[in-house]
């Protein structure tokens, strides 16, 4: 093809950081000068293409992961070690996530309702507050969680994730993010019921973790990350971000829960597929029951453009794994008050 995803030319394995959006769309200058500069840069990159391709082909560790080699567990341990601090931070955030639902109980001293047997004598003396009724107590939520929160993590495994990983490590960062979430949620099934699905040009719904079936062992969790990496390495060109988000929202609200949240993890390489902030914002807000958010892990200019164009609080830019816990903390804080 004459042009690649992410603003790259031909078979080059580099992105210009604009995620397929034009300079004009992002609010910057355009024109022939920039086009000429892009062509010059593309020519230089093409000369390096063979070298980069050879490096990928001989990358034995990546091949082990994609082919399901048992040694991938060691690779998973390596991924987790990189984000060990973030895993701890995320565990604290998940543990602190407050219940959305308040427990209903008998409220005494009411002017109407069922007669309170303990207030019979008071009624004889003229007291009016002798009734009780079922209701929510006047105290903050968060002290009781009768049902788990339902979460869906929508993971970008599109071709650009693998293609541009050599340049900016976006696929590595996605693998770290998935590992971080799996490790942090482990042992918290009483508070969270979650699913992890992928999306790419191949499909808007690639199941990695199903509701009610969390990966309970470290080997199981390593296989999930292995599947994420493998899916990105074999994905067809194209994008299904919006369709994947719609499906995730429908799936998460199928069952009653303390709360319903969807996290869309994207490399922000959406400009070539006419995915605008307005279109994404409409999908993220399509359900009154579900709180959906987008987290952009690469393509700096495009990520900021998308975040700024989304409704306030719906988009986050996390170009480094260390920024993810703060984003999740803010999201859960928003969810608890809406």
pLDDT of 317-334, one tens digit each?
999 999 999 999 999 988
Question: In this predicted structure, what is the pLDDT of residue 142?
Answer: 46
Residue 200: exposed, middle, or buried by beta-carbon count in 10 A (0-12, 13-18, 19+)? Answer: buried
pTM exceeding the 0.75 threshold for the entire prediction: no
- pLDDT score of 219 more than 60: yes
Question: In this predicted structure, what is the pLDDT of residue 172?
Answer: 94
- pLDDT score of 67 more than 60: no
- The overall average pLDDT reported for the chain is 82
Average pLDDT over every residue of 266-289? 95
Size of the chain, expressed as the number of residues it contains = 338
Average pLDDT over every residue of 237-259? 96
Alpha-helical segments (H) within 186-313: 218-233, 241-252, 277-284, 300-309
The answer to whether residues 172 and 197 touch, using CB atoms and an 8 Å cutoff, is: no
Question: In this predicted structure, what is the pLDDT of residue 245?
Answer: 98
pLDDT digits (tens, 9 = 90+) for 296-325: 999 999 999 999 999 999 999 999 999 999
pLDDT digits (tens, 9 = 90+) for 82-141: 999 999 999 999 998 877 654 445 566 666 666 666 666 666 666 767 666 665 555 444
Question: In this predicted structure, what is the pLDDT of residue 8?
Answer: 45
The answer to whether residues 299 and 19 touch, using CB atoms and an 8 Å cutoff, is: yes
Sequence-separated (6 or more) residues with CB below 8 Å from residue 180? 80, 83, 86, 87, 90, 321, 324
């Amino acid at each position: 093809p004459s042009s690649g995803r992410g603003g790259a030319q031909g078979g080059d394995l580099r992105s210009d950081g604009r995620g397929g959006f034009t300079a004009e769309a992002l609010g910057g200058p355009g024109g022939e000068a920039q086009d000429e500069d892009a062509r010059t840069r593309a020519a230089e990159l093409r000369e390096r293409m063979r070298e980069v391709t050879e490096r990928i082909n001989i990358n034995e560790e990546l091949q082990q992961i994609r082919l399901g080699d048992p040694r991938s567990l060691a690779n998973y341990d390596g991924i987790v070690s990189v984000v060990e601090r973030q895993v701890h931070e995320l565990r604290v955030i998940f543990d602190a996530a407050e219940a959305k639902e308040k427990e209903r109980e008998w409220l005494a001293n009411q002017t109407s309702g069922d007669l309170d047997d303990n207030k019979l004598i008071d009624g004889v003396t003229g007291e009016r507050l002798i009734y009780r009724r079922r209701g929510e107590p006047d105290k903050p939520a968060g002290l009781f969680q009768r049902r788990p929160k339902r979460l869906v993590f929508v993971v970008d495994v599109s071709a650009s994730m693998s293609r541009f990983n050599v340049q900016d490590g976006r696929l590595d960062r996605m693998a770290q993010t998935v590992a971080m979430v799996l490790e942090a949620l482990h042992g918290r099934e009483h508070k969270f019921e979650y699913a992890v699905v992928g999306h790419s040009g191949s499909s808007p719904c690639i199941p990695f973790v199903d509701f009610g079936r969390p990966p309970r062992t470290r080997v199981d969790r390593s296989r999930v990350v292995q599947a994420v990496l493998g899916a990105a390495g074999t994905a067809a060109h194209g994008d299904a971000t919006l369709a994947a988000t719609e499906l995730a929202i429908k799936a998460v609200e199928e069952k009653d829960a303390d709360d319903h949240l969807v996290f869309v993890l994207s490399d922000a390489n959406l400009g070539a597929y006419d995915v605008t902030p307005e279109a994404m914002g409409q999908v993220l807000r399509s359900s009154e029951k579900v709180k959906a958010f987008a987290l952009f892990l690469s393509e700096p200019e495009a990520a900021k453009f998308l975040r700024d164009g989304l409704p306030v609080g719906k988009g986050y830019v996390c170009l480094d794994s260390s920024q993810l816990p703060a984003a999740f903390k803010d999201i859960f804080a928003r969810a608890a008050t809406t």
